[in-house]
Structure 1
Amino acid sequence: MSYLDYQVAQVPTGIRKILYLNWPLVFLLTAVSSIGFLMLYSVAGGDGSRWAEPQMYRFAIGMAAMIGLAFVPIWFWRGISVFAYVTCLLLLVAVDLVGEIGMGAQRWIEIGPIRLQPSELMKISMVLILAAYYDWLDLSKVSRPLWVLIPVLLILLPVGLILAQPDLGTSVMLVAGGAIIMFAAGVSLWYFGVIVGMVVGLVTTVLKSRGTDWQLLRDYQFRRIDTFLDPSADPLGAGYNIMQSQIALGSGGWSGRGFMQGTQSRLNFLPEKHTDFIFTVLAEEFGFIGASSLLTLYLLILGFCLYSALTNRDRFASLMTIGIAGTFFLYFAINMATVMGMLPAKGSPLPLVSYGGTAMIILLLGFGMVQSAHVHRPR
């Protein structure tokens, strides 16, 4: 125990836990969310009551919940991991049976006054169950085929239910998030190499099947691939969103057009400007400097999470922190890659910046678990 930890240990338990909070992480999350409030005020044309104020209320609730969860002992999250996973599976089944349909997808369920998207909860539950599994599993068995198959099944089961909604974007995030935890747990790289090889082979086979008697995709699905590769092929249809996004990104230049001066958003050329494409609004108004500043804040959040995980001697807490940090990374990486045209549009929000309650609060709950791991780590 260091001298500083010894001095803190003399403080009453409740106050000591507050002192042990990962305060840089709290400040960084607040900074990113404040950028979101600013951009939501901008895209609403200076009307704070439309999107910015509701987002502030949600952030206040989520931040209070995050601080509250920091006081929960780490053994509690380990203990509820199976219950949380099974509950989310049942909710996903309920979505497929009686879920609410919106924008062509069946992803939500009404529970009293609450409109819930169980696939968002599953992102956190998946982290808990895999972290608990590898905490329980002996290190010598981590790369044995039978013990690798179990977490793969734990991942594929909810992925199959989510694909039925359909929600390809969340399915990909679950698979990638699960792979991050398996990698951190020490699973042999040979398994990942085999999976990458299988994916490359599958993509190659699908593309080569076009125009043959054994074509694996429908014609409209191949047209979507064509639009992704060349949005200008359908500028007023499937390629409209990404082309407008790229125009906004390019017009911002180094320093941007100025706050509330973005033409693409002000003239409503930019689609979903308060949710999926809010990063392009930031880039247009504040340019490369503003966009890279937000990316820097995101990377600092990742850095503090990973430092906390690597210095934590509790295996479950460490893997849980890495899993939540990995999920956070996937959120912003997929959104930024999508609006820049590097990935097909899948409706992924920009974490803590895009307008929306479920994603923000669940993400802050996840960071509350990260704080719990940090506060209760062995010292």
Structure 2
Amino acid sequence: MSYLEYNVKWTPAGLSKVLHFNWALALLLAAAAGVGFLMLYSVAGGDLGRWAEPQMKRFGLGMAMMFVIGMVPIWFWRNVSLLAFGVSVALLVGVEFFGEVGMGAQRWIDLGFMRLQPSELTKITLIMVLAAYYDWLDLSKVSRPLWVLIPVLIILVPTGLTLIQPDLGTAILLMAGGAVVMWLAGVHIFYFLAVAVLGAGAVTAVFVSRGTPWQLLKDYQYKRIDTFLDPSSDPLGAGYHITQSKIALGSGGWTGRGFMEGTQSRLNFLPEKHTDFIFTTLAEEFGFVGAGSLLALYIGIIILCVISALRNSDRFGSLLTLGIAATFFFFFAVNMSMVMGLAPVVGVPLPLVSYGGSAMLILLIGFGLVQSAHVHRARSK
């Protein structure tokens, strides 16, 4: 084939992929990340280099990775899904042997240039392997007990490895994301009702086991539950985080105190102000309007993913897109509920806004898969 023939044949296809890239989704992701840059600059007291600049570099790298992943045919990601899941599980096992400890938990692996949290990667690879499984499985077998047991075991393996780190928040997200894919694939609702009953029994067992030799949770996790039920019981101890968070949320009012004028964050009353509790800083400085605007960006991202999935005739691509969208939803829903006192405090960052390397990069890798499914979906001529 001559050079001219090569370009005539391949260039239009490559251009078509770029044109079919979901640029609206990329724009909303950039807007949400921009909010994060602004807040990280604020909580650092106007120091760009402390948190905001490293976050910008990671986001730039993540967007480049999203674009490259989006250009790769979706069938490739389906074929490597089991391998990717196996690698992530192996990394979770590796954490137990040579993982780094931080804040009382062993969750990270030092790669030299960054600290990788394998449980973050597993959130995406779990969705991939479940989507590939249900793409392969005949629809008539979806709700048969044996074929339901297999994805349940697939979900339980990384969930168990994450729980022993311990990382209850991520374990909950893994189970929730996996359950959504199973439900979307058509698993009968009876199984979910059975799990709900078992879950109620497990919650009962958690409370009954407290103080016994077979106690199911760590002491600090029980403390978080106590704080959730009654933050005022220990306002200067276990209840300090949520008490200060509520003060910051309430003091913002409708329009906020103004950029870099939040007293809770500037005077260091607010703990973890650049990671898990950054939403309260946003609400204090920009009020209900600012917090609602970020929520609107998140909802816009979810809507674009759902529209893309509904228009996709490929079962794997559709399930993958909806699964990643659901995981993204659980991310911000759990974080916002946590800082508002509607859920116990767990270590779940605010997506694209909280400071963190592996969480942002892996989330953008997930959206790269969404882009791949969108770019390579069948279109009418």
| Superposition TM-score tier, normalisation by shorter sequence | over 0.9
2:98 counterpart residue number: 98
Contact in 1 for aligned 2:167/2:347 (Cα 8 Å): no
Q: Deviation at 1:217?
A: 6.5
- Aligned-residue sequence identity (percent) comes to 67
The change in CA–CA distance for 1:184 and 1:285 in structure 2 (over 3 A counts) is: same
SS of the equivalent of 1:109 reads strand
1:324 counterpart residue number: 324
Q: Give, in whole Å, the separation in 2 of the partners of 1:11 and 1:217.
A: 57
Q: Give, in whole Å, the separation in 1 of the partners of 2:83 and 2:284.
A: 45
1:275 counterpart residue number: 275
Q: Deviation at 1:98?
A: 1.4
Unaligned runs of 5+ in 2: 1-8
TM-score (norm 1): 0.94
Q: Deviation at 1:39?
A: 0.7
1:346 counterpart residue number: 346
Q: Give, in whole Å, the separation in 2 of the partners of 1:315 and 1:116.
A: 31
Q: Deviation at 1:258?
A: 0.8
Q: Deviation at 1:213?
A: 11
Q: Give, in whole Å, the separation in 2 of the partners of 1:251 and 1:369.
A: 40
**Residues 180-329 of structure 1 mapped to structure 2, 5 A cutoff:** 180-207=180-207, 222-329=222-329
Could you list the per-position Cα deviations for residues 158-192 of structure 1 after superposition, in whole angstroms to 9, with x for gaps in the alignment? Answer: 11111111111111110000001001101011111
Q: Give, in whole Å, the separation in 2 of the partners of 1:134 and 1:158.
A: 19
Q: Give, in whole Å, the separation in 1 of the partners of 2:365 and 2:335.
A: 21
SS of the equivalent of 2:323 reads helix
SS of the equivalent of 1:106 reads strand
Q: Deviation at 1:110?
A: 2.2
The change in CA–CA distance for 1:190 and 1:230 in structure 2 (over 3 A counts) is: same
Could you list the per-position Cα deviations for residues 192-224 of structure 1 after superposition, in whole angstroms to 9, with x for gaps in the alignment? Answer: 111112212332354466689998778776544
Q: Give, in whole Å, the separation in 2 of the partners of 1:42 and 1:13.
A: 44
Q: Give, in whole Å, the separation in 2 of the partners of 1:318 and 1:376.
A: 11
**Corresponding pairs, count:** 371
2:5 counterpart residue number: none
Q: Which one is further off, 87-96 or 9-18? A: 9-18
Q: Deviation at 1:227?
A: 1.8
Q: Give, in whole Å, the separation in 2 of the partners of 1:14 and 1:207.
A: 58
Could you list the per-position Cα deviations for residues 27-53 of structure 1 after superposition, in whole angstroms to 9, with x for gaps in the alignment? Answer: 100110111111111111111111111
2:41 counterpart residue number: 41
| Matching residue's letter, 1:117 | Q
Q: Deviation at 1:111?
A: 3.0
Q: Deviation at 1:225?
A: 2.5
Contact in 1 for aligned 2:58/2:361 (Cα 8 Å): yes
Q: Give, in whole Å, the separation in 2 of the partners of 1:75 and 1:332.
A: 30
1:61 counterpart residue number: 61
Across the aligned residues of Structure 1 and Structure 2, the Cα RMSD in angstroms comes to 2.0
| Matching residue's letter, 1:266 | R
Q: Give, in whole Å, the separation in 2 of the partners of 1:110 and 1:364.
A: 20
